[in-house]
Amino acid sequence: MNVISLTVWTLENNCFAVYTALIVGFTVFTFLHKRTIEERYRNRITDKKEKLPRNGSGGKERDFPDDEGDEPYLVPAIPEDTPHVPYKPLKRADDEVLQRSRDYYQLMANRRTVRFFSPEPIPEGVLENLVKTAGTSPSGAHTEPWTYVVVQNPEMKEAIRNIVEEEEELNYAKRMSRQWVTDLKPFATKPTKPYLSEAPALLLVFRQAYSWRPDGRKRMHYYSEISVAIAAGILLAAIQYCGLVALTSTPLNCNARLRDLLSRPSNERLELLLPVGRPHKEATVPDISRKSLEEIMIKV
């Protein structure tokens, strides 16, 4: 009996066992290689997306697609005939540019996240200037996708604190991973947030995912996340520059409740909650270090 006839004979006489073995083998192989298969599939999709033709023709997917069913309204939100005007900022000498870059680095290197505030009030007009400064930020297609809610009223601060503390109790107990809670230990953060009622002002940064034109049409906000992140950076730098301090906080799972409390519309999402003021005279900060220039900069 040669190999072929032996194989045929085996298949004919033990087909149930052979097929069962094949199915079990396939299932075990798939299970063991699940991760690799999924990774390859994901990479194929990413590669396909990256390989979309440079001239945009032929690609089926668009970034920021038009709303399904709606005919795109092909009139720019800002008038197409907006004039372009000369821009001539003050030209500084090279040594002055260098000196200013050093000075600004020193200023920003002293910024710290502060979790203990003095109740001293913030001088009149400062919060307005800080928000105006944040409003100078660049944004995708100049959509300016932000709203800054300034809270100084003690009852409102208390109401915000109650919501954040309630959610934080659950976050720490159930919603955050054990690794996350462990990684936060050096910062001694807790569900209780006295600074939310002690700081003289709370600045809440809302991101608008979209807005409406004067005629009621929807206006898409391209890159709203990064636009708001840049604006928040400018705001933090302004707070540092004027001599106040802030706590950059991201209240987890508080968006809906704080949005309702502050009567913000559904196109807005709370991104940051910044208590702002002067540090408490006994404020402390964790003694952490920052990565060196060599670690964060690559020159090509």
Ligand X SMILES: Cc1cc2nc3c(=O)[nH]c(=O)nc-3n(C[C@H](O)[C@H](O)[C@H](O)COP(=O)(O)O)c2cc1C
**Binding interface with ligand X (CB under 6 A):** 112-113, 115, 187, 189, 247-250, 285
- Residue 110 Cβ, how far from ligand X at the closest point, in Å? 10
- Residue 160 Cβ, how far from ligand X at the closest point, in Å? 14
- Residue 159 Cβ, how far from ligand X at the closest point, in Å? 19
- Please identify, using beta-carbon distances, which residue of 211 and 249 lies nearer to ligand X: 249
- Please identify, using beta-carbon distances, which residue of 220 and 229 lies nearer to ligand X: 229
- Please identify, using beta-carbon distances, which residue of 36 and 289 lies nearer to ligand X: 289
- Residue 267 Cβ, how far from ligand X at the closest point, in Å? 22
Q: Which residue of this chain has its Cβ atom nearest to ligand X in the complex?
A: 113
| Distance, CA of 21 to CA of 193 (rounded, Å) | 61
- Please identify, using beta-carbon distances, which residue of 211 and 246 lies nearer to ligand X: 246
- Residue 180 Cβ, how far from ligand X at the closest point, in Å? 11
- Please identify, using beta-carbon distances, which residue of 113 and 133 lies nearer to ligand X: 113
- Please identify, using beta-carbon distances, which residue of 211 and 259 lies nearer to ligand X: 259
Q: Among 240, 232, 246, which Cα is nearest to 103's?
A: 240
- Residue 294 Cβ, how far from ligand X at the closest point, in Å? 19
